[in-house]
């Protein structure tokens, strides 16, 4: 299959699907809030300090700029003529694609397709896209221990509540259920014609060979670029993880930002196992599970709605507005670039 044939590569189809699915996702979010929280508590949003809302909205835009920087960094390494604006456009389209695909897939197909259409060989498009995942893993592997150790050093009282979450029977049950789902997916992947142990080993060996060939050159000869992108990844995710503590501060609650960051790392990691587009349903359940011990019962509904709007719908709506403006500008530019043929030229 060519990258140009990847699902959602048709941009109009992508926009139509976003417009179709967003109302469904919103209805599911409202239903979850209605069933599991006190809907009357949403009136607390009137107590929200506007400045904190604007700050949360601003930091949620950081991924757009960070992803564009990371992409431009590798494109310069590959000696491809590539501008920051191009990276910004790809970042916006991939974010939009991520909104209607499972979290584990995200916007990678969109990103690969746009790079391929721009003229990159399939291997380069795949390697640049896949390296972003590796960078995210590195930034989280470094960031989580730092957040935990900092919290312990500062003796933050919220660590006791965090320990209660980790000891929760509901969490143990949820993780056990997810483990079963993962095992079923692995079995499904290797079943049938791939069920023979020898074929399984061949498939895993082939994957390892391709993995090494894909990353060896770029990581070996571009160590500083890789390190810089890990830093950009950390900034990107720190901005995204800041939404929840900013919302809590806006409602007037005492916030332990380090504990909030660690909890959100766990939430987003588990969201990648939710098979629904945008982790709809699963994201809300995980938020309620983890933050029910951290926040007052009267605030959990407001926090959930605010987090989901800013983290999910806000960027999608912003992307649609940007795409609409860009499309209108392109049509305007095209219509004015066509010069009318004069009568003298026609004779």
pLDDT tens per residue across span 163-193: 555 445 445 555 555 555 555 545 544 444 4
The mean per-residue pLDDT over the stretch 308-318 comes to 87
pLDDT the model gives residue 72: 92
Task: Please list, residue by residue across 67-95, b when 16 or more beta carbons sit within 10 angstroms of its beta carbon and e when fewer do.
Answer: bbbbbbbbbebeebebeeebbbbbbbbbb
The mean per-residue pLDDT over the stretch 88-113 comes to 82
Q: Which helix (H) or strand (E) holds 247?
A: helix 243-250
pLDDT the model gives residue 182: 52
pLDDT the model gives residue 152: 67
Under DSSP, the state recorded for 341 is: P
Only one residue has tokens 């949360």, namely 56
pLDDT the model gives residue 24: 86
Mean pLDDT of the chain: 75
Residues 186-208: tens digit of each pLDDT:
554 444 444 444 444 555 555 45
**Cα distances (angstroms) measured from residue 297 to each of 42, 139, 228:** 11, 33, 41
Higher-confidence residue: 150 or 322? 322
Rounded to two decimals, the pTM is 0.74
pLDDT the model gives residue 66: 93
């Amino acid at each position: 299959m060519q990258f140009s044939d990847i699902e959602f590569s048709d941009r109009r189809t992508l926009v139509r699907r976003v417009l179709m699915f967003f109302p469904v996702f919103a209805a599911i979010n409202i239903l979850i809030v209605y069933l599991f929280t006190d809907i009357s508590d949403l009136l607390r949003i009137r107590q929200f300090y506007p400045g904190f809302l604007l700050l949360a909205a601003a930091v949620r835009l950081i991924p757009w700029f960070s992803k564009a920087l990371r992409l431009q960094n590798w494109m310069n390494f590959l000696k491809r003529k590539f501008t920051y604006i191009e990276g910004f456009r790809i970042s916006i389209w991939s974010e939009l694609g991520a909104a209607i695909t499972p979290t584990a897939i995200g916007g990678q197909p969109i990103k690969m397709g746009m790079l391929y259409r721009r003229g990159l060989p399939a291997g380069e498009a795949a390697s640049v896209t896949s390296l972003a995942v590796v960078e995210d893993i590195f930034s989280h592997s470094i960031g989580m221990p730092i957040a935990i150790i900092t919290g312990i050093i500062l003796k933050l009282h919220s660590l006791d509540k965090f320990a209660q979450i980790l000891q929760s029977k509901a969490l143990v049950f949820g993780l056990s259920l997810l483990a079963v789902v993962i095992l079923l997916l692995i079995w499904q992947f290797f079943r049938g014609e791939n069920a023979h142990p020898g074929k399984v080993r061949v498939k895993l060996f082939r994957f390892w060979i391709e993995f090494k060939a894909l990353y060896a050159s770029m990581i070996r000869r571009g160590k500083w670029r890789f390190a810089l992108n890990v830093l950009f990844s950390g900034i990107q995710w720190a901005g995204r993880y800041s939404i929840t503590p900013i919302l809590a501060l806006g409602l007037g609650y005492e916030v332990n930002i380090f504990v909030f960051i660690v909890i959100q790392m766990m939430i987003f990691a588990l969201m990648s196992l939710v098979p629904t587009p945008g982790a709809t349903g699963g994201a809300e359940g995980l938020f309620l599970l983890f933050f029910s011990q951290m926040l007052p019962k009267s605030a959990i509904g407001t926090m959930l709605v605010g987090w989901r709007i800013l983290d999910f719908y806000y960027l999608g709506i912003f992307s649609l507005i940007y795409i609409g403006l860009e499309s209108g500008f392109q049509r305007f530019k095209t219509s004015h670039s066509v010069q009318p043929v004069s009568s003298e030229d026609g004779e």
